Amino acid sequence: KASPRTHSYTKYNSWDKIQSWIASISSSNPNLISKQVIGNTYEGRPMTILKLGKKSSSTKPAIFMDCGIHAREWISPAFCQWFVKEALSTYGSDSQMTSLLDQMDVFVLPVFNVDGYDYTHKSNRMWRKTRSKKSGSSCIGADPNRNWNAGWSSSNPCSDTFCGYSPESEIEVKNVADFIRRNKSIIKAYLTIHSYSQLLLFPYSYTYDLAEHHSELLKVAEGASAALRSLYGTRYTSGPGATTIYPAAGGSDDWAYDLGVKYSYTFELRDTGRYGFLLPESEIKPTCEETMLAVKYIAAYLLCT
Ligand SMILES: NS(=O)(=O)N[C@@H](Cc1ccccc1)C(=O)O
Ligand SMILES: [Zn+2]
């Protein structure tokens, strides 16, 4: 059975292996990690959030990070697994990680779109959406990054970017939106991990209007990108989604920002198109190492402000 010691952090693990890992890692260190199931997916798989942070009787400010919103973006869940492993293994030795986990909690959702992720392993490697079915339509699933109540507008059910029949129509999105709403007073940052293109995006994607905190969000994004680039020279572009990648309605980062989570970022990890969603396993380690620097930069900024 997979356990923290036998789990591979440099392979794209199946959902079954990730589920076993979640069970074992979440009971490996009661002072630093716990788990909570926030609901099930359409096909009945559990959505489990890992809570990282020094156990405290008082409520601490928190960062929320999700991976695997889009099923085919396999480097994303690989990063969430890497982040959890790094947090637990460097707490006490790495000063940045130690102060982060002493002063804040980090909620990590390793795989958001579990049904879709499992489907890419077993059926169609290029699947993107959820796997929900609606009577009357032969097309399956909605894009979980178009289904949030942020500039939401309807679209074609057979499109890969179908927005769903209404905001939060996808149970996976509703489960996470409910969790963030319940915890919005303590959540200071929302990070959502995607691939590919090497971008650090922030609101808005649903409009060309600049966010109220545009200049600060850009400054932090450029600092995080510079930290990332310092390791292997990987170049990221920072900016609002609408002008940096493309306009898009119903995105999770826009929704979190409009809810009041000021530091709301979408990471588009490696690469820039050579392999795209099929990033080789040999690039998991360098991608995760450099991305750790960007996430730790944002965390350090939160702790200093
Ligand atoms: N990961 S991606 O290639 O699908 N790109 C993202 C870009 C994106 C990011 C944030 C809000 C809306 C859109 C997408 O959802 O299209
Ligand atoms: Zn994506």
pTM, to two decimals: 0.98
Nearest ligand to residue 272 Cα = 1
Helices 252-259/171-182 angle, 10° precision: 30
CA of 103 to the centre of ligand 2 (A): 30
Probe residue for ligand 1, chosen from 76, 254, 265, 266 as the CB with the greatest number of ligand atoms within 8 Å: 266
Atom of ligand 1 nearest to the CA of 73: 1
Nearest ligand to residue 77 Cα = 2
DSSP 211: P
Q: What is the ipTM of this complex?
A: 0.99
pLDDT at 305: 80
pLDDT at 39: 98
CA–CA separation, 76 vs 270, rounded Å?
10
Indicate which residue of 86, 170, 172, 268 is catalytic. 268
In the chain, alpha helices (H): 15-25, 75-90, 95-103, 114-122, 171-182, 214-232, 241-244, 252-259, 284-304
Residue bearing the CA closest to ligand 1, atom 10: 251
Q: Which has the closest alpha carbon to 234: 192, 279, 204?
A: 279
CA of 56 to the centre of ligand 2 (A): 34
268 is catalytic: yes
CA–CA separation, 249 vs 274, rounded Å?
27
SS3 of residue 304 by DSSP: helix
Probe residue for ligand 1, chosen from 70, 113, 196, 270 as the CB with the greatest number of ligand atoms within 8 Å: 70
CB burial string 154-164: b at 16+ within 10 A, e below: ebebeeeebbb
Q: Which has the closest alpha carbon to 80: 178, 195, 173, 237?
A: 195
CA of 145 to the centre of ligand 1 (A): 7
pLDDT at 57: 95
Q: Which residues line ligand 1 (CB under 6 A)?
A: 70, 73, 145, 194, 201, 205, 241, 245, 248, 251, 253, 266, 268
DSSP 248: -
CA of 188 to the centre of ligand 2 (A): 22
| Mean pLDDT of each 10-residue bin along the chain, 305 residues long | 79 98 97 98 98 97 99 99 98 98 98 99 98 95 98 97 98 99 98 99 98 98 98 98 98 99 99 98 99 98 93
CA–CA separation, 302 vs 305, rounded Å?
5
All residues at 6 or more sequence positions from 117 whose CB lies less than 8 Å from its CB, including other chains: 15, 68, 71, 74, 77, 111
pLDDT at 257: 99
